[in-house]
Chains A and B, each alone.
Chain A
């Protein structure tokens, strides 16, 4: 039966008020700069609360960078951005040893990875060894420079972006590396109302005087420097997320969903246990973001595409039939709801 200690302390049905206030404040602050994208903001907060990394996929111009910058400033987090290019080297990210000629000794020059919030822009444009260097840091949360290992700051979160349209000159992240990301979210265009609001706000930006001249103001110029919370607030929220209640019934839903991916005829590679773990963690964080002290099936259905899709691989036949991962996952979730029988699990080595 259910082990109370495994699921944290006895909780109320609502999330702690202070945490809710903090999270609402962050969302409100982001909302002052970024129009719409509520789901993306929610996913970023989930990633932040669970220390899971986030991969954002979307065409340029959907305010990915602005969103992450705004989040960093809202919580007073250290923020760094790396634009991935083909000639980037691992030392450009991690840092390197340089010879200090004054004392004739090597000293470590830490790279931009030593931050709380790292935006890896267009991660698929860098060579695989650079991707691997970053992904190793994501996994182990430490970096080795020379002979010395350095622990990364805490919290440490990587938000990577990639453009799904331009594939020339890119290096697609393999499944093993995609597995490092807890969430992979696909951004969509804003609705017409949101688009209208974006245009209105942009028209009102005006011009910024600098020195003797002036430049056109951008959305980055209106980011308020005053944070709405501190890292301590964030840590409290992370602790609260860890104690969100998960019922045994919800566990059954997750187990059923994950195991169905392993026996679906259109899937060559099903979701790993890591996907199930990520689903639970993300569901807990989402419940907290939405002010609940417990998870419900809505969390599973809302998060399944972002958590599961990059952990599965379609068979050649399914690809030849023009199927996509989204379609197969939707089938699985439909079957889950309908209670359709699970296909026999094929023996796989």
Chain B
């Protein structure tokens, strides 16, 4: 009988030990007194045995989460693990820490017992809180991205305008030179009429002389020649030479001007047809 009791007593002790270590009975904070901290202060849960595979902190990007949890240490505990957890409550109230944990192997948490902690409010009741910051709408329409796009477009337009300012005047000048081709006849006519009437200024007389030179240079195909060479050839020409001599006598010789029959001198050039010789870029 005593042997049977003794054998029974040994079995009971082993069973009690097995029950004590069983994962079905974890030593959880919920079973103990609920830990309490105040807002912003760190609290520790040490030696918490949680069943299942190893847990780690759930990474949360939510900056408004009421609790921040950190797994400080992990110890093997039979088929379970024992944890030292540190938490920090950012909002007053009772919080369950399970949403802040996950299994390392990715399996679901399963029947993990609740890990509730209490975070007490520090501020007294009726404390007046500051108003929340209000975001005022910006003066620009469309937000920062549109602002950037607008600035880039303006910059590009400015660059185009800057580059164009270098090239356009030159092109305009070149175009202006060919926009209104003035024929020699058109340019000479008022000068010839003025010369016959004796009403030309010195600048206009100079223009008349150059116009007649241009006529003969064009007529004798000397436009591309060196001006000095062209002039020498004009002097040697049977028709242009006498004209130059008469112009010289009229316009350049000193003293009392020798009588020059200006109307007769200029007569061959007074009835030139408008299309006689076009001088691109000429001005009347």
**Which residues does A use to contact B, with CB under 8 Å?**
7, 10-13, 245, 247-253, 256, 265, 293-298, 301-302, 304, 330, 333-341, 343
Known: A337-B213, A338-B279. 8 other contacts (CB 8 A): A7-B254, A13-B254, A13-B255, A296-B248, A298-B228, A301-B231, A330-B227, A340-B281
B252: contacting residue among A10, A295, A335, A343, CB under 8 A: A295
Q: Give the residue of A7, A11, A249, A334 whose beta carbon is less than 8 angstroms from that of B251.
A: A249
A297 B253 Cβ-Cβ under 8 A:
no
Q: Is B203 an interface residue (CB 8 A)?
A: yes
Sort A-B residue pairs by CB-CB distance and give the 5 closest, nearest first. A245-B254, A252-B206, A341-B283, A301-B227, A248-B202
Are A256 and B281 also in contact (CB < 8 A) when A265-B173, A298-B228, A301-B228 are?
no
Chain B residue nearest to A343 in the complex (CB): B173
> B31 contacts the other chain (Cβ, under 8 Å)?
no
Known: A11-B254, A249-B202, A296-B248. A339 touches B210 (CB 8 A): yes
Select B253's contact among A251, A294, A301, beta carbons within 8 Å.
Answer: A294
Of B203, B213, B283, which is within 8 A of A252 by CB? B203
A337 with B227: CB separation less than 8 A: yes
A265 to chain B, nearest CB (A): 6
User: Known: A11-B254, A252-B202, A296-B252. Is A337-B282 also a contact (CB below 8 A)?
Assistant: no
- B227: which A residues are within 8 A, CB to CB? 301, 304, 330, 333-334, 337
How close is B142's CB to chain A, nearest CB, in angstroms? 42
A residues near B170, Cβ cutoff 8 Å: 265
B82 at the interface (CB under 8 A from A): no
Separation of A66 and B115 alpha carbons in the complex (Å): 117
B203 to chain A, nearest CB (A): 5
Q: Which residues of B have CB within 8 Å of A249?
A: 202, 205-206, 209, 251-252
Are A340 and B282 in contact, with the CB atoms below 8 A? yes
- Determine how close the nearest CB of chain A comes to the CB of B233; give it in whole angstroms: 11
Q: With contacts A301-B227, A302-B228 known, is A253 near B283, CB below 8 A? A: no
Distance in angstroms between the alpha carbons of A252 and B206 in the assembled complex: 6
Q: Which residue of B lies closest to A329 (CB)?
A: B227
Q: What is the CA–CA distance of A301 and B211 in the complex, to the nearest angstrom? A: 15
- Measured between beta carbons, the chain B residues less than 8 angstroms from A256 are 206
Q: How far is the CA of A229 from the CA of B51 in the complex (A)?
A: 132
Enumerate chain B residues within 8 angstroms of A7, measured Cβ to Cβ: 254
Contact with A along B225-243 (1 / 0, CB 8 A): 0111011100100000000
**B207 interface residue per 8 A CB criterion:** yes
Cβ-defined partner of B235 (8 Å) among A298, A336, A340:
A298
B48 part of interface (Cβ distance < 8 Å): no
In the complex the two chains form, what is the Cα distance from A127 to B206 in whole Å?
45
**What's the Cα separation between A304 and B228 when bound, in Å?**
9
